[in-house]
Amino acid sequence: MNQFARGVFRTTLLILLIGSVCGLVLGPSSFAQVPDSTRIVVGAVPDSLAEADILVASDTVAVQAVVRAPLAESPEFDSYVVSDSTSFARPVRRAELNLPSLLGSEAGVFHFEFGTLGWPESVSIEGGDPNRTMLLLDGLEMDDLITGRPRYELLPYATLQSVGLIKSGAGFESGVAAYTNPYSAPTPQTDLRYRSGANGLTYIDAVHVQNRSLNSLGAGTKLQLLASYSGSAHTGDYPGSRLETARQLQGRIRLQRPGWSIELYELYNKHLVGAHGGVHATNDIYDSIYFRFGATVDDVNAQRGTIRNDLRLTYRRFIASNPTTVSAGWSTQRLTFADGGLKDSVDIRVSRFSASFRQPVDVGNHAFVIDLFASTDQYVGGRAANRPEDESRYRYDLVLRDSFIVKGIGVNTSLGAHSDDGRIFPSALAKFGLRPVSLSATYSGIRSQWFDVRGLGTAFHPLKKKPEINQLRLAVTVTQAWESGRLTLTGFYINTDSQFILHQGSQGANQAGLTDAYTRAGGYLDLTFSPSGVGGLYGSVKPTFIADISPNKISELSTYEKSMPGFWIEGRIGIRRLLFKGDMNLDFSVRGSWSESMRGRVLDQQSGLLFLQDFDALKLDAAPRLDLVAEAGIKSATLFFSYENFLYGNNTGTGISFVPYYPVPARRFRFGLFWPIAD
């Protein structure tokens, strides 16, 4: 047995042993009974050492937490109710192209957009690095196993139930937590989703779920079977940007008995997308797209591919009101890049074994949650020129959370100890809420990625040693709600003792670097108004500003700051109407955005990361963008039509995209249908 296999065995055995001991020691007598009313509990949803930024509605308390509904005597899988601050009602029913587009409509979130299906879009939360946003799917980490970037395109979008923002986490800057639909209806269900648009944009999803009672195996035994397929294609707006292959298979088997349950989950993705090397600037004018920087494309034959498989086994034992959860996972990924020659090609494989344990413990007024997580990665060297030999990485996390109410003030706290491949660092969180104000403070080390010191390909210079970064975040939120609207104002201060950057060199030699301490502060407003009934006029406005207040503004920090605007604003105004005796619920809206000038980021062909540009890069001027969107609910189905960026070509404005060289298409029409069938 080699060293890697021994490490996997020890890690899994340690987690399972701790889980078994805690499950036996913390028996039913150790837990208080759940009252009839819903309580505030941090980390009730298994989301890997972080909870989404969720606002709990209460007359006296305003804290960021997860709502855990009372558990029945024989708990169902959907006993965990997620109510997130982003208020996304089934993302699959929304008109946005993808999850980053959906997140980009939220205050404090900036969307780095391509508008091309399959390309690596991302978001920056409160000015954070878009390459380092943690992405979680029911607690499963969906970041790239090699580069660490969030892989939004690999999520099972059709089965997502809700999405939440993580403004600060234990071991990472910020994140996005997505949760799948529990599908607890007793009747079989089939969900169909179809989307189409210009330049061959096609997206198809099919999900089928069955819940069966197996009383032959004992009273109360239930079995759920879920299978889904997703496929998409897009020619793209430039040569070399075509989405050649995008296939996804998902499966879930759940067996539930009174007192315990076991689940096997499988997610397979295969992506192959054009990865051209950029668009040359010319003075030509193109009617089909604005500020195009020309249409002469480098490396039109370049392609970047990903094959990813995630398998997870989860066991839950229900002790009184609190489930003990033990999971073991295996993820594999292969990243390839080829431009027609061997010189710049990349081919690397990674395997990750992980294990986790979670135990809520109620002691009086306190709701504790114990989280343990461990993983080990094995990198198989190939054509990844900077480090061809095989390597292993190890990671361990221990986090203890507490949630309680004292004198009407909601309090959430957590303490953590983390090991990142030998580096040991702490994390701490404290949140206090008393309507209409909540305060939070978070301090944590930031985990590094394999890519930081290994890199990919021949034209990238990684760091010489692993970065050790720590982050402090302070925030205050004021919320005021009334019958027909809501106002939320958030101010934040974030300090990192050094900032990791990826920089595009002037001679094509891309490199990683560490800056001095980086401090930013800002705020954002979310003002929403809507009628109290089922129809009428509604609207929202969401301005955000961010400023670099670092004591030493070196050139690298200035480049980082100017990669996104210091001020941007999102807003919409619309009207809802019930038509045809209530059979159709029509929602028509005009959605707009405006941002200050900026330099943006450029895409690295091989890794899919968004790099900072050279110091003398051309700026994008401030400009507006408007979309027309109609969403119609017909019985259980949802139709949508969108006409995007319709300002271009008119005298009302020019419209500029968020990412240089790759603007979103102008005047693009898209159509979509989501149809759930109970059969």
Q: What is the pLDDT of residues 235-265, one digit of tens each?
A: 877 777 888 889 999 999 999 998 899 999 9
CB 18 within 8 A of CB 372: yes
pLDDT in the model for residue 256: 92
- How remote is the C-alpha of 547 from its chain's centroid? 24
User: Is the pLDDT confidence value at 394 over 80?
Assistant: yes
263, 364, 266: which is closest to 323 by C-alpha? 263
pLDDT digits (tens, 9 = 90+) for 83-126: 233 445 688 888 998 999 999 999 999 998 887 788 888 999 99
pLDDT tens string 314-369: 999 987 678 899 999 999 999 998 876 656 688 889 999 999 999 999 998 999 99
Residue 362 lies in a domain: yes
Question: Distance between CA atoms of 213 and 190, rounded to whole angstroms?
Answer: 19
| Helix boundaries (H) for 563-654 | none
CATH code, domain carrying 416: 2.40.170.20
Q: Give residue 116's pLDDT.
A: 78
Closest CA to 153 of 232, 80, 223: 232
Residue 303 lies in a domain: no
Q: Is residue 511 included in any domain, yes or no?
A: yes
Q: Report pLDDT for 464.
A: 82
Average pLDDT of every residue of the chain? 79
Residue type, 189: Q
The answer to whether the CB of 119 falls within 8 A of the CB of 174 is: no
Assess contact for 261 and 77: CB atoms under 8 A: yes
Answer yes or no: is 414 within a domain.
yes
Domains: count for the chain = 1
Residue 34 is assigned to a structural domain of this protein:
yes
Residue 495 within a domain: yes
What is the DSSP code (8-state) at residue 451? H
pLDDT tens-digit series, residues 560-607: 778 888 999 999 999 999 888 778 889 999 999 998 888 878 888 888
Q: Where in the sequence is the domain holding 633, given as residue range(s)?
A: 3-296+311-678
Compute CA 239 distance to the chain's CA centroid, rounded to the nearest angstrom.
29
Tell me the C-alpha distance between 452 and 54, whole Å: 32
Entry pTM? 0.85
CB 354 within 8 A of CB 361: no
Q: Tell me if 464 is assigned to some domain.
A: yes
What value does the mean pLDDT take over residues 287-310? 68
Which runs of E-coded beta strand occur in 181-217?
189-197, 201-213
214-220 own/partner pairs: CB under 8 Å, 24+ apart: 217/257, 218/257, 218/258, 219/258, 220/74, 220/256, 220/257, 220/258
Residue 436: cis peptide before it, omega within 30 degrees of 0: yes
Burial 429-450 (b: 16+ CB within 10 A, else e): bebbbbbeebebebbbbbbbbb
Indicate if the pLDDT at residue 433 is higher than 70: yes
CA–CA dist 64, 62 (Å, integer): 7
Residue 18: predicted pLDDT: 46
Asked if the structure places residue 207 within a domain, the reply is yes
Q: How far apart are the first and last CA of the chain?
A: 50
